[in-house]
Every structure is written in C-alpha cells, then in structure tokens.
Structure 1
Amino acid sequence: MHIEPICLNDSQFYSINSFPTISDKLYTYPEICVVYEKSFQFKFTGILVINDIPVIVFPKNYKLPMESKDIIDQAGTLIRVFLRYRNEPIHELDENTYLFGDKNNNNSRITTAIRIMEDYRMYGYLHRELVISSTTRKGRIDWAATVNKTIPTVNHNRVVYDAPIIRCSMVDNENIVYKLHRYVISQCIKMWGWLFGINLSNEMEYEKLPCPITEAIFSLKAELRNVYVQREINVINMLISYLTAESGCEKKYNKEILGTQYFNIIWESICGYLFNNKYSVLSSLVPQPEWESKIVSGRISQRPDVFAVDEKRLYILDAKYYNFKLNLPGWHDVVKQLFYRHTVILNLRKKRGIKLLPKDTEVKNAFLFPGDEDEVLQYIGRVFVNEIDDLGEVKAFAINQKMAMQTYAYRDNDNYRKQLLKELGKNV
C-alpha cells in the first residue's frame, strides 16, 4: 500500500472541516494559504508534504479530471514541471523561498525522493557483493585453493578434483549502503509510490533505519571516498540529501513545501519552451528607452516574453496566466505589445549593423493563455486600435494547459511544438 495524495486547486475555497490538518499547519503561512473562519484558500501552486501526506495544489482554473488515475498522472506532470523549472538558469528572487527552500523550509526530501525513485525504477538497489568459496555453488574454479586444499583422485592416469573449490559472488545483505538504500526506497514508495505505480511490498513495509541518521550519513560519506562509478556517486549523494532532509523534517513540524506563488512566471517558461524562444539571440532587436537628465538618473527596459521565428515571420508572444473568460489584457499590456512590434520593425529596417533577421521579416503579436480545450491552439480574438493600421494588432490564443505542461515537464513531443507554431502561423 502507499499514501494517496490530496489534490486541490490554487485560489479555490475549501472547508476547514474537510481538511483540518492542512489549515492547522498552514495558518502561519498567509502568503501561500489564507485561513478564514470556516474555510481556507491557497495562493500557491506546488507540492506540500504535511504530516507525511502529499498535497498537490494545481494552478488556478486548472480543470481536474474526474478519474483518479488521470488526476495522479497529471499530479506527476506538475511535480516534474517544478523539477525542470528549478533547473532553469534564471529565477526571480521572490520565487526562491518555496522553489529551493530556506532555513525554515527544507524541500529537498521531495525533490530527492522523486530522483531516487526514478533511478531505482531503472537500475534497482545499490548492491555490494561478497566473494565466497564453495564446493556446491556455481561459479569459477579457484584452482590455487583447489590444489592446495583438496585431495585429487587419479582416474585413467589423469588427476581429477572431484570437489573443486568454486569462487562466486553474492549480494551482501548486511552492507550498510545496501540497507540504507532499501530503507530510503521503502520511505519513498510509502509517500510517492502512487506517482510511479509502485506498491509497497510486505517486505518493504517493515524496513527499518539500520542505524541513527547521523551515523548513516557518516557511513555514506565514507563510502563516497571509495566509489568511482558515476551512478553510485549520484545515488549515494541523493541518499545523503534525503536523510539530511528527513532529519531536518522531524525538527520542522512535519511540513515541507515545494512550489511558487508566481506560477505565471513558470507559464512564461512553458510557452518559451513550446515556441523555442529565441529572445536571448534576438534581444538586440528590442531598443531600450533612455532617460536624459542632469537631475535624476533612471533606466527603463522592455523585455518581451517570447520571440518565436518561423520562416520569414517573427512572433512576439506574451504569456498571460489568467482566465481569459473573466479577464482580458488591459491598456498597459496591449500598448506594450504594440510598442514592441513598432520598435522591432524600425530596428529591422535600419541599414547599419548586423542583420539578425531579413529586413522584410513580418512581425506579429500574440497573447498566450492557458486553456482546457482539446484543439491545439484555440483562437480567442484580437485587439487593435481602430483606423490606426500601422500599429498592427494583438491576437489572443489559448493553449491546452495539460498538454503544454506535459510537453515542458518531459521535454518531449517535438511534433506538438511544430504543430503549435504551424497553427499560430495560420491564424496570426
């Protein structure tokens, strides 16, 4: 058996009576969970472990499926979105507390457990072997020991060793590294087995920590000095990280948090991956406004979310993480996109300097919202300034959020990404 996760949504209200432990443990964290008199509401997306129960908080407006299996699959996708996003090169400072943890929140037991489970599913336990001598097991004959320790017989003028000594290897079940790996795997399966479809066997259920955690960590660090296989180095480091976090968790009131209050930033990264963001290469196409003053100094920067290039088109994409059925981009967002396009076109037409794109490149604008429709790219509408054609327009589209997160999390489905760009080209 394993623990089933609790799956909730960001910004949705839940009864305290239905989830008393969650509200009790998080009432001192109003920045991620607001607790009212009879209800509570997350202002956060991510994964929490409360009293050893995993709680998955999906993004706001995310449409949870009806089937338990589908919910678990999509919870796994969300977890892997965060595991990938943590490895992105740049993060906002405000994200770090719950994305990477701090002195009050060590979330490495969550992240390490997933990596340990993935390794275990592919390669199994770390084994240490004993070499033994036997006359009954199968293996290679140890001729030196056989000649020195056994008495041969003579048969047809030939020397025959009827009971040769065999050298063979067997798993050392008492090895401390093997025991610690088994213990950690059993703990990971109890909490995260649902994510991998692995049930806890009767044998695993009774795995015990073979020694105090401090002694276990010391033994693993000592083992590292004698290990040269990269996979073993990685696994031992993960075991050290997990046990260190487990020790800290016992002192931190059984609460671990991995996530963000700023899923809109992650949505930007998702859209950037889906459309193969080229902004880092083409950023010089975007001129920066400058202040000239003898009294004050200041800088203004303009930075589009995503630059997507397809043949002779440049798409300036703005990732918007909210419900387009309730809210639409306002004046600031629309004017910003129109100005991006205007200044990029002027830069492209300049005769001087290095040409990153052809002068006749067509520049188009679009907003990208999360959606739940099955179609690849749902056209929502467009915004423009009437009778001012030179400014162009900004079209709005919704991308199936489940498919977008899955593609980002697993770095797969290039055909889907190509199809998105193709559909964008048809509609912009």
Structure 2
Amino acid sequence: MSNMRYHIVQDGDFVDPLTKIKFINQLNDRDIAFNQDGERYNFVGIIFNSENVLISFPKNTLNLEQREAFEKNRNTLYKHMHLLFQCIKKTVDARNDRYAGIRRELNADYPFLEFFVIYQYYKKFGLFTNEKEIRKFGYTGKISWKDTINKSPTVVNNNNILFLPLVIKNNVNEHVFISKCMAFVIDSTLEKFSLILQGNKLNLDTSDIDFTNKPLIISQLRNTKRTMFKNVHQRLVDGLISFFEQRDNQGGNQHLKIYSFHLVWESMVGNYLRKKFKRVTENDELVFSDETMEHNPFMKKIVYPDVRGENGHRIEPDHYLISGNFRYIMDAKYYQAIKELDYKQISYYFLLKHFEAKRDSNGDVIEELKTYNALILPTAGKNDSEKHFEFNPEFNMNEERFVITIQYLNTLEVMRIYTNV
C-alpha cells in the first residue's frame, strides 16, 4: 500500500482528465455526473488498482490545506479514511429498512457485511475451536480413575492393589477448518483494506488450505455446518459460506462506492442535533453546545396531512422536535450549495402550521407553536448560518415572520461526534 499513488477527491468535485485515465477501467457512468459545467464525481468511497488509489470523501469535507496535509502525512489520511468508513458502517448497522440500499452498495464488490459477522464473532468468542479430551498413560496431570481402573495393569504391593501407570486426561483445543477459514477472511480483508479498516490480524498458518478453490471450501463449510447445533455457530458458518460465494479474486482491482451518502449525512445530522443542539436565537441562528447535551429527541417524522390519511400523500421531515411551545423542523441536505428555493421546506411549514397546536374543546386553535425551519448542509469550514428565505409580508399578511435558515455544519466534526472519536 505504501508504494501506491493516492488521488484525493471529494464527491461533487470536477473530474481531472488525467486522474480519470488512471481509473478508466474502474469508473462507470454512475460514478461521474455529467452536466453543463463539466464532469463531477458522484460517489463516496475508494477505488484500488494495481498502482493507484482514488479516494473520494463526502462533499465539503476537506479544504485545500487538509488535502495537502494528507499528501504529506499518510497516517493522517488513514485516520480520516478509518473515520469515514466507521460512519458508513454505523449507518449500515442501524436496523432500518431505509439503509438497505447502502448495505447493497457496501457489499457490491466485496463481502464487507459477511466480514463484519465473522470479525464480530471472533471478537466475542475467539476462534472457533473443537475441544478434544486426550487420555494417555502417565503420572502428572488430571487422573481419570475410571479409565485407570479399567485399563491399567494391577500391581500388589504390601497387600495394597495399585493401578500403574495411571491414565491422565488432558483437554486440548484443536484448531479446525472453520478456524482457518475465519483467520483467512480476517487477515486477508484487513490487509487488503488497511486504508479503511482497523483491526488485529490473527496470523494463523492457513497455508495447508487452498482458498482459491472456492467450490471445495464452500462444500466443506456446508458439510461442517451439518454437525453444528448452536445458532451462533451456524450463523458464523453461514457468514463464511456467503463470504466465499461473493469473494472474487480480482488482484489489486477493488472498489467501495457509496452513492447514497445523503442517507449517511441525514443519520449523522440527526445524531449531532440530539447531542449538540441547544437553542435558536432571535435571529433564527442555531446554537450548539461545546459539550454533549441531554438527549434532544429529534426524530424523523411521518405525517399524513391528506384527508385520506395513510392512503393519501404524506410528508417526512428529516429531524422534527417539539419542545415547550417551539417546533423545530430541520432537513439534512447533502448538497455543496443551495442555489434554488427549497419549496419542500416551505411546504413543511404550511402543512404542519396548526398540527399539534393547543386547541380548545371545540377544536379551535388557542395557541400555535412557534416554528423554526433550517436546512443543514456540510462544510469544510466552521459552523455558520445564513438566511435561505424570508417571507415578504406583502405576499402573506398572516405570517409576521417566516424564515428558513441554512445551517452549515463542519463535516469532520459531525463525523467525529457520530462515531464518538
């Protein structure tokens, strides 16, 4: 890996033609967005070939100074790649059907999900072993009296019957085929993807097994599974079988491409709001705490304003919270910049204006909630905000003040809070 040439880009950056040539066999039409201003990268991830590595960070993650630091210090680059992969993995691990697409993208070219199953088993239980009890004649160790009486010759000494030699039993943990498969999966994956994965290699000798013979390996694993009874062991073997079924011997050509990073950003923003959001100022600026706050129960809200209820249309603000007399509607936007009016955020406000307001016994609204609206974007700079839209009262006399704020959050800070780094 140290001899490789690194090319550091960001999702949404313009494509350098010279860099594109170096990865021409690994880049496809989905990886590059074509528009009137040129070609731009359209994924987050990493591409390997025999001589080069293309690393694509999320939009607005790195400034020029940070990119130059990566070129000078590989350890700094590795640290940030590990951070990025942890963010992706944490989102993938969430039990949420919304992230099914990310799971497919993560596993598209290499069976990372199966690797995680196998590595988690190892961290919890160690290598799969087969405990065998060995019995042999001797004089030191734990004596098996039953076997000694049944198998040892008798010796009479001073009218005493002695059984000599004694039968000694020892428990021996034997590494079996499954253990060596685990070691191969863990070591080969950690070595191949050392740039994005952290972990300790096992260094178990597996040279007696030909892991290039996939049909034989899979057949032996299936035969071994038939002798197991515990679900945890069967899941381990299922993970091994699936790993070898999907694993493709591609040499140095491998990739990890995430096209759905907007969902990772949404998840990270939700975590940041729950841990850091403090209040909104009179000028509609969001204030965040330097320390972790008490849990702010921001949640994704699904509302059915259509009279047909769940059979009609629905709206889904990303991050929604009612606290006292205040309502906060925050939407995560994985954009480099917002150039046009965000009609969706405006619709959220008017469709939810009287929703959950205090009402009298007749159902009339007696106290409305004060609503704050914000669009949350990534930035390589400091946290900052600006107005996206402020309603001119000439167009709607009912709204004394309606503002939508754009809040920029430092991408690396959001990533670190998300992974507790």
TM-score range relative to shorter protein: 0.7 to 0.9
Task: Find the counterpart in structure 1 of residue 82 from structure 2.
Answer: 76
Task: Find the counterpart in structure 1 of residue 42 from structure 2.
Answer: 43
Q: Deviations over 1:94-128 (max 9, x none)?
A: x84x75159xx843523322443344345432112
Question: Which of the numbers 109, 113, 119 marks the counterpart of 1:107?
Answer: 109
Q: Deviations over 1:109-161 (max 9, x none)?
A: 23322443344345432112332113459653222221222235556765454
Task: Find the counterpart in structure 1 of residue 10 from structure 2.
Answer: 9
Q: Distance in 2 between matches of 1:218 and 1:314?
A: 58
Q: Are 2:386 and 1:381 aligned?
A: yes
SS in 2 for 1:128: strand
Task: Find the counterpart in structure 2 of residue 308 from structure 1.
Answer: 321
| Offset at residue 393 of structure 1 (A) | 0.9
Report the CA distance shift for 1:22/1:114 in structure 2 as closer, same or farther (over 3 A): farther
SS in 1 for 2:384: strand
Are 2:140 and 2:168, in contact at CA under 8 Å, matched by a contact in 1? yes
Q: Are 2:319 and 1:318 aligned?
A: no
Are 1:112 and 1:242, in contact at CA under 8 Å, matched by a contact in 2? yes
Task: Find the counterpart in structure 1 of residue 299 from structure 2.
Answer: 278
Are 1:264 and 1:320, in contact at CA under 8 Å, matched by a contact in 2? yes
Report the CA distance shift for 1:185/1:346 in structure 2 as closer, same or farther (over 3 A): closer
Report the CA distance shift for 1:133/1:385 in structure 2 as closer, same or farther (over 3 A): same
SS in 2 for 1:348: coil
**How big is the alpha-carbon RMSD for the aligned residues of Structure 1 and Structure 2?**
4.3
Match runs of 1:228-307 below 5 Å: 228-246=229-247, 249-250=248-249, 257-274=255-272, 275=274, 276-280=297-301, 283-284=302-303, 287-288=305-306, 301-307=314-320
Aligned partner of 2:86: which letter? R
Are 2:48 and 2:54, in contact at CA under 8 Å, matched by a contact in 1? yes
Report the CA distance shift for 1:2/1:204 in structure 2 as closer, same or farther (over 3 A): farther
SS in 1 for 2:111: helix
Aligned partner of 1:287: which letter? P
Aligned partner of 2:305: which letter? P
| Offset at residue 322 of structure 1 (A) | 2.2
More strand as a share of residues: 2
| Offset at residue 244 of structure 1 (A) | 0.7
Q: Distance in 2 between matches of 1:212 and 1:25?
A: 26
Q: Distance in 1 between matches of 2:211 and 2:140?
A: 31
Q: Distance in 2 between matches of 1:177 and 1:315?
A: 52
Are 1:9 and 1:60, in contact at CA under 8 Å, matched by a contact in 2? yes
Q: Distance in 2 between matches of 1:80 and 1:47?
A: 14
Q: Deviations over 1:225-246 (max 9, x none)?
A: 3323343223212211111111
What percentage of aligned pairs have identical amino acids? Answer: 18
Report the CA distance shift for 1:15/1:170 in structure 2 as closer, same or farther (over 3 A): farther
Report the CA distance shift for 1:55/1:225 in structure 2 as closer, same or farther (over 3 A): farther
Are 1:2 and 1:200, in contact at CA under 8 Å, matched by a contact in 2? no
Question: Which of the numbers 75, 89, 100 marks the counterpart of 2:96?
Answer: 89
Higher mean C-alpha deviation, range 310-319 or range 236-245? 310-319
Task: Find the counterpart in structure 2 of residue 399 from structure 1.
Answer: 409
Task: Find the counterpart in structure 1 of residue 132 from structure 2.
Answer: 130
| Offset at residue 370 of structure 1 (A) | 1.3
Report the CA distance shift for 1:348/1:189 in structure 2 as closer, same or farther (over 3 A): closer
Task: Calculate the TM-score normalised by the size of structure 2.
Answer: 0.72
Higher mean C-alpha deviation, range 4-13 or range 237-246? 4-13
SS in 2 for 1:346: coil
Aligned partner of 1:346: which letter? H
Q: Deviations over 1:199-220 (max 9, x none)?
A: 675x658574368321211221
Task: Find the counterpart in structure 1 of residue 376 from structure 2.
Answer: 368
Aligned partner of 1:133: which letter? R
Q: Distance in 1 between matches of 2:159 and 2:212?
A: 58
Aligned partner of 1:403: which letter? E
Flag structure 1 segments of 5+ consecutive residues without an equivalent: 291-298, 414-428
Q: Deviations over 1:243-286 (max 9, x none)?
A: 1111xx24x79755543334223322332344444344xx33x6
Report the CA distance shift for 1:31/1:349 in structure 2 as closer, same or farther (over 3 A): same
Q: Distance in 1 between matches of 2:58 and 2:217?
A: 38
Q: Deviations over 1:64-115 (max 9, x none)?
A: 56343343233223223333434553449xx84x75159xx84352332244
Are 1:45 and 1:261, in contact at CA under 8 Å, matched by a contact in 2? yes
Aligned partner of 1:265: which letter? L
Q: Distance in 1 between matches of 2:5 and 2:367?
A: 54
Are 2:135 and 2:170, in contact at CA under 8 Å, matched by a contact in 1? yes
More helix as a share of residues: 1
Report the CA distance shift for 1:196/1:261 in structure 2 as closer, same or farther (over 3 A): closer
Match runs of 1:56-71 below 5 Å: 56-63=55-62, 66=69, 67-71=73-77
Are 1:3 and 1:192, in contact at CA under 8 Å, matched by a contact in 2? no
Task: Find the counterpart in structure 2 of residue 296 from structure 1.
Answer: none
Task: Find the counterpart in structure 2 of residue 32 from structure 1.
Answer: 31
Task: Find the counterpart in structure 1 of residue 292 from structure 2.
Answer: none
Report the CA distance shift for 1:395/1:192 in structure 2 as closer, same or farther (over 3 A): same
SS in 1 for 2:229: coil
Aligned partner of 1:89: which letter? N
Q: Distance in 2 between matches of 1:60 and 1:337?
A: 22
Are 1:186 and 1:204, in contact at CA under 8 Å, matched by a contact in 2? no
